Structures are given as structure tokens and as C-alpha cells.
A and B are shown apart, each in its own frame.
Chain A
Amino acid sequence: MAQACLTQYFTPK
């Protein structure tokens, strides 16, 4: 399984 990144879910402000 691959580790996802938070930036795939939360948008940089």
C-alpha cells in the first residue's frame, strides 16, 4: 500500500 500525502486532501493556503 502506498502512503498518501496530506496535500492530496488539504489545500495549501
Chain B
Amino acid sequence: ARLLHGSIFAKVIEGLRELVNEATWECSGNGITLQAMDSSHVALVSLVMRSEGFESYRCDRNMSLGISLVSMSKVLKTMGKDDSLTIRVNDDSDSIIIAMESQNQDKFADYELRLMDLDSEHLGIPDTDYSCAIKMPSSEFSRICRDMSIMGDSVLICTTKEGVKFSAKGDLGQGSIRLVQTTNIEKEEEAVIIEMKEAVALTFAVRYLSMFCKAAPLSPQVGLSLSEDTPLMCEFKIAEMGHVRFYLAPKIED
């Protein structure tokens, strides 16, 4: 699999590696997918990178590759910001080869990472017709998570047709941020767009939301999909290639 902009892959790894330290990458002719849960089974990440999004891609037979995201992250930190990236696995090999090429083709770096033997627990994620779908700038969402984490470790997300309200309370007191739905949309990327079938009010642990925001560099927008008593779906699209989707179980009344 070859990417002209290796930085995309680095952003994917940085978006995942706090939530899960290692994961099984499923490679097939259609591309690369990954599904993994955090250790407490409260959050899950689902990655899709379609083959047509790569500059070149070939997969002669399906492979499940156990990879340490922490190690992969360390190797990718050596990559130049404009480098292209090629990832290769030879048949019956126990390692993955990561090759980086500088833009002016004068520097070639090669790394080999040992593959891990991971037992992949797979969950069936039902297609959900969410009560509410919010689109907003990913930087805004990151900022809100950071601000709300000052006040408490849980965030209540309430949606109405006017907008969406994030609130948190704790020992210091309480705080809330309300975003009004954007009316005159000049730049889609900066708009707050809310499609609501019915109002929802759900509480989530802010530390997971903040971990999800590590994937914000992938996309200027984030999608939040909510339904009562249903895990939140938080989506960052990977341009012309796929997406990183996070799912987070809500906090419920004792």
C-alpha cells in the first residue's frame, strides 16, 4: 500500500494509539480495515481505508496483521512531512516493512516492525438510524472537550432544534457551552449543522471524547451521531479514502 502523502497514515495512527495500543489490521483487495476496543470495552474504533484511496495498492491474499500502534507511531515520527509512504508485507513474513521516500527522491528510509499475534475480538455494530446527527468543525469539538474537562469528568450532550449544548459539573462548579445551528452557511467546514429527528440528552466520559479528538487532524469536520441509550458515534472522514469511527458507551443512571 503506497500513499503519496504519508502524513495521512501518521494522522490515523496518532488518532488511534491512545485508545488502543495494538490492533489487528485486516487487509484485503478492498483495502484495510481495523476494529478494536479499549481495554475497558467502553470505546471502540473502526477504521476503513479503501484501496482506491491509495496511490497504489495490491493484496494478493487476505491478511490479518497484528501491529503495535505505539511502535508504528514511533517509526512514523521519523517520517518527513512531505514523504511518501509504502507499507509492505511479504507472504509468510512475520514483519511489516515501512518505507519512506523524501519528496525529491534523495532520501529513502526503511524500517521493519515485527508483527504481533493478537486475538481479534470482533463486535457486530448494528446500522443505527440515529435520532440526531451533528456536523461541526473538529477543532471546535476538540476545544469543547478540553474546556468541559476543566469542570468535570462527564459531559452531558443535549440537542434541541436550535442547537447543541455541552455541559459538565464537578467539585469546582459547572459549565456549559451551547452551539447554535449555523444559518447562513458560507463555508461548510466551519458550520454547525444539526439534523434532528428527536431531541436527545446523553452523558459521556470526557476523557474518551478527548482521546477521539486525537484524530481531528484527519478532517476539518467531525460527525457526532446520537440516540437515546445508544453508543455515541464520532466520525472523522479520511478524504477520498474512508473514515475513522469511534463508538462510546454512554454513562447511565445508577
Taking Cβ atoms with an 8 Å cutoff, the residues of A that contact B are: 1-13
Residues of A within 8 A of B44 (CB): 6, 10
For B230, give the chain A residue with the smallest CB separation.
A9
Q: Is the CB of A4 within 8 A of B247?
A: no
Q: Is the CB of B252 within 8 A of A11?
A: no
Q: How many A-B residue pairs have CB under 8 A?
A: 55
Q: Is the CB of A11 within 8 A of B124?
A: yes
Q: Is the CB of B123 within 8 A of A6?
A: yes
Q: Is the CB of B251 within 8 A of A11?
A: no
23 A–B contact pairs at CB < 8 A? A1-B154, A1-B252, A1-B253, A1-B254, A2-B251, A2-B252, A3-B251, A4-B42, A4-B249, A4-B251, A5-B40, A6-B42, A6-B249, A7-B123, A9-B230, A9-B231, A10-B44, A10-B123, A10-B124, A11-B124, A13-B122, A13-B123, A13-B124
Residue of A4, A10, A12 near B250 (CB, 8 A) is: A4
A10-B124, A10-B125 given; A3·B249 CB < 8 A: yes
**What is the total number of residues of chain B having a CB less than 8 Å from a CB of chain A?**
24
A1 to B41 CA separation, bound complex (whole angstroms): 17
A1 to B203 CA separation, bound complex (whole angstroms): 9
Residues of A within 8 A of B230 (CB): 9
For A6, give the chain B residue with the smallest CB separation.
B249
Residue of A1, A2, A10, A11 near B231 (CB, 8 A) is: A10
- Cβ of B205 < 8 Å from any Cβ of A? yes
